[in-house]
Structure formats: C-alpha cells, structure tokens
C-alpha cells in the first residue's frame, strides 16, 4: 500500500457542502453590503427629487379695491423671461400657503395658461398694468391642458394654492402691489 490515506465514503460530499455553504454566505454578505451602500447613497448623498427648489425672489401684497387695505401678503418666485414663464410651478408637489409665483410679461396682452405637468391645484390671477386683478381661475385642475385665458389684457399673473383667493377674500377688481428682490 502506498502512503495515501483512504477517504471515508461521503467525505468529499461533506467537504463540498462546506464549500457551498461558505460561498453562499459570502454572496449573501456581499449583497447586504451592496444594498447598504446603495441605500445610503439615495438617503444621504443624492437629491432624490428633481422637483425645483423654492427660491424667494419677491413679495406680492393683495389689496382691497375699495379702501386699499392689505388683504394678504405672499412671498413669490418671479418668472420674468420666457423659459421661467414656461416652467412656472410645474413639477411642484407642495407649496406653503404664503408662497406663490409672479409672472411678469413685457407688455399688456391677452394671456392664457394651462395646467400641463402642474401637480398642485392653483388659483391663477391675471392682473393688468395698473395692478387690478381682472380674472381669477379658482382651483384649477392638475395636469389639465384646458386653456385658462384672461378676460382682459394682462401684464402680470400670480399663481397661488388652489382656494387661496376664497380663503383670503380676494376678488376680481382687487389690486396687487409687488416688490422684486430680497
């Protein structure tokens, strides 16, 4: 007989089972580590929302048409060029009650807005060059492609949360004053 030891029957199977167990355990650990890294990335390092960030660029004050008393005041983002006006409040999932957007156009014209890609219901107020609100579309329908036109030529538009004008008693004929800047 040579110096080789005789193996017991089934010992190769046992050895193979041990190797399989350890390789499965290593794979499981690698998967857990990978999941932890990916989760950490999304939770802590990556901005998971492509939603535009709020930036205060001015203020709008709503005034009673009869006695010019302040009805309400909001902070606004300002859209005063074509690309900003096209973007508007699209893709926003929330907006505080005291916030909105002021659209400033170069001249008085008939204006028309729609709600395509706009998640929030809005009140859309059209305003002439003297600051008089001539049209209010209340509680507009999110994602609607229906045209929402002004009744008269307008140079400004203010968008606020749906129902804002009713909650604050703002009516057509009331006025706005605005300030752009900090």
Q: What residue ranges do the domains of the chain occupy?
A: 9-48, 58-180
Q: May I ask the CATH class of domain 58-180?
A: mainly beta
Reduce the DSSP state of residue 24 to 3 states and report it.
helix
C-alpha 7: how far from chain center: 70
Distance CA 136, CA 32 (A): 55
pLDDT band, residue 31 (cuts 50/70/90): confident
Question: Is residue 134 a contact partner of residue 107, using CB atoms and an 8 Å limit?
Answer: no
The DSSP element (H or E) to which 176 belongs, if any, is strand 175-180
What local confidence, expressed as pLDDT, does residue 47 receive?
46
Which residues lie closer than 8 Å to 8 by C-beta, 6 or more apart?
none
For 107-142, write each residue's pLDDT tens digit.
Answer: 999 999 999 999 999 999 999 999 999 999 999 999
Question: Is residue 102 a contact partner of residue 135, using CB atoms and an 8 Å limit?
Answer: no
Q: Read off the tokens for 83.
A: 């690309």
Reduce the DSSP state of residue 150 to 3 states and report it.
coil
For 47-104, write each residue's pLDDT tens digit.
Answer: 446 788 889 999 999 999 999 999 999 999 999 999 999 999 999 999 999 999 999 9
Q: Quick one: how many helices (H) and strands (E) in the chain?
A: 3, 9
Q: Is the pLDDT of residue 23 over 70?
A: no
Question: Is residue 108 a contact partner of residue 139, using CB atoms and an 8 Å limit?
Answer: no
Global pTM value: 0.73
């Amino acid at each position: 007989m040579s110096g080789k030891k005789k193996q017991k029957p089934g010992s190769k199977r046992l050895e193979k089972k041990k190797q399989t167990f350890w390789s499965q355990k290593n794979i499981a650990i690698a998967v857990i580590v990978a999941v932890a890294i990916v989760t950490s990335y999304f939770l802590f390092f990556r901005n998971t929302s492509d939603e535009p960030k709020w930036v205060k660029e001015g203020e709008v004050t709503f005034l009673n048409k009869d006695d010019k008393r302040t009805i309400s005041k909001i902070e606004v983002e300002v859209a005063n060029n074509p690309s900003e006006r096209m973007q508007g409040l699209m893709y926003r999932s929330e907006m505080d009650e005291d916030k909105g957007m002021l659209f400033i156009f170069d001249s008085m014209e008939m204006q028309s807005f729609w709600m395509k890609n706009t998640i929030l219901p809005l009140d859309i107020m059209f305003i002439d060059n003297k600051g008089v609100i001539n049209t209010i579309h209340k509680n507009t329908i999110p994602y609607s492609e229906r045209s929402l036109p002004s009744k008269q030529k307008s140079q400004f538009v203010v968008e606020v949360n749906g129902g804002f004008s009713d909650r604050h008693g703002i009516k057509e004929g009331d006025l706005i004053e605005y300030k752009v800047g900090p």
